[in-house]
Amino acid sequence: MSLALLAVIFLVLIGLGVPIAVVLLGTATLGMYTRQVPLTMLTQTILDGVRSYTLLAIPFYIMAGELMNRGGITKRIFDFALSLVGHIKGGLGHVNVLASMLFAGISGSATADAAGLGRIEIEAMKAEGYDLDFSAAITAASSTIGPIIPPSIHLVIYGSIAEVPVATLFTAGMIPGILMGLGLMFTVYILAATGRVHCPTRPRQSLRSVLRSLRKAGTALLAPVLVLGGIMTGVVTPTEAGVIAVVYSLVLGLFYREINKEVLVECIRNTIQSTAVVMFMLAVSRSFAWFITIERIPDRMMGLVFQFTESPAVVLFFINILLLLLGMIGTASANIVIVTPILVTIAHSIGVDLIHLGLIIVLGLMIGLITPPVGTSLYILSDVASLPFERVVRATLVFVIPLVAVLYLVTYIPSLSLFLPRLLGML
């Protein structure tokens, strides 16, 4: 069976809506069978796909996000962000972004941000008379920050496939994540200042009021300090930091009296379901990656690219276009699994650091969370805000602009992602 026929089968299965993990497994199995590769190699590569200490971090970060949303932590983070930036023109739009940046320092999941923190943000903005389309749009856009500011489930997945240190990836994500937040806040300010959206003004809160909010949120805000500080100083590994995040979130939830036996069981059930989906995909992806490697597909792709240009700048430009297009039609985790083996080979050839490449890939695919037709965050916020999907899409498009701008800044200024790792001696 030719590679062209396998590629057609692959695309047809995806077009029919077959789960991506099943498509990867089926394609790898069929390819190995027709190449007379012993199927014992299939089982071996599947086991190798999840035989990694690094991947243990994934269920812990998922669980931490669940506990934060149900344990009252997200509400306190939102209230603190409100006291800091609620008075700036754009009001709760800025609060929305800042709260997502703080939330990202513990969870690392865009869907946890959109579904949990997003519900709090939408209700607050609705209560103060904000345009509902705008409220859903900025909430969806700010959820993309979660997988960039560490910790990040998607960076863990990339690190396990590309075999690069996850702690270094986490550190590299700090500045790009902050730039994403600033870009979104600047856009909110412009929209509010020009009157394109209705953003009620709030009075500046007194220092005493800010300190009161800080006191209430202090224990919640300590969580990202413990997690990020531990990872960036090398005191704990990303996996150990995930354990700390879970234990700390659970203790806070019990202290706030928001978590009981029923809530804890539900959090565990949701974590198991989400982890099973991710780990199954990672398991079968190793077989798929092994197959495309023995077929020299990355080398062929690299040769095809270099037929047109050998300029690293041009290659990176088209890599970003590819990532943005893939983000529109597939989930981020699945796309990371598919493109990483190919792009790593190309990156080696054009002299791009694999840490830098990881940020480019994840950031580019995160924009796909707010671009149709897949747009996971768009569907979540459409449900949360009780709005038609099309209205959320139209309102969100303006926020794609600053995110794409940050993507290209990070792409062409490597120091934005590599400065902190170098400063801390990780590179």
Better-scored residue on pLDDT, 188 or 282? 188
Asked if 149 contacts 173 with a C-beta cutoff of 8 angstroms, the reply is: yes
Question: Which of 96-110, 294-308, 327-341, 370-384 shows the lowest mean pLDDT across its residues?
Answer: 294-308
Residue 214 confidence (pLDDT) above 80: yes
For residue 419, what pLDDT is reported? 96
Residue boundaries of the structural domains of the chain: 38-423
Q: Mean pLDDT over all residues of the chain?
A: 86
Poorest-pLDDT segment among 74-78, 91-95, 129-133, 322-326: 74-78
For the cut 90, the answer to whether the pLDDT of residue 119 exceeds it is no
> Comparing 69-78, 103-112, 380-389, 398-407, which segment has the lowest mean pLDDT?
103-112
b/e per residue, 290-326, with b = 16+ CB within 10 A?
bbbeeeebbeebbeebeeeeeeeeebbeebbebbbeb
The pLDDT value recorded for residue 134 is 93
The predicted-structure confidence for 372-420, as pLDDT tens digits, reads as follows: 877 778 888 888 888 898 899 999 999 999 999 999 999 999 999 999 9
The pLDDT value given to residue 286: 78
- Rounded CA-CA distance 203/83 in Å is 10
| Per-residue tokens: 96 | 């929305």
CA atoms of 320 and 405, how far apart (whole Å) = 11
Residue 211 pLDDT greater than 90, yes or no: no
Section 66-74 average pLDDT: 82
Res 112 pLDDT > 80: no
Stretch 99-123: mean pLDDT: 77
Task: Give this prediction's pTM.
Answer: 0.86
Instruction: Please tell me the predicted confidence (pLDDT) of residue 287.
Output: 82
Structure tokens at 170: 């986490």
Band (113; pLDDT cuts 50, 70, 90): low
Please give the pLDDT value at position 165: 92
Structure tokens at 273: 């379901």
pLDDT digits (tens, 9 = 90+) for 21-34: 888 888 888 888 88
Q: What is the DSSP string of 210-242?
A: HHHHHHHHHHHHHHHHHHHHHHHTTSS-HHHHH
pLDDT at 1: 54
Residues 350-373 pLDDT 10s: 999 999 999 999 999 999 888 887
Q: How far is CA 132 from the centre of its chain?
A: 24
| pLDDT of 302 | 74
- Predicted local confidence at residue 2, as pLDDT: 65
Flag whether pLDDT at 306 surpasses 80: no
CA distance 87 to 84: 8
Q: Provide the token pair at 80.
A: 């603190």
- Whether the CB-CB separation of 363 and 148 falls below 8 Å is answered with yes
Higher pLDDT, 56 or 158: 158
pLDDT at 174 over 90: yes
Tens digit of each residue's pLDDT (9 = 90 or more) over 218-268 = 888 888 888 888 888 888 888 888 899 899 889 988 988 888 989 999 999
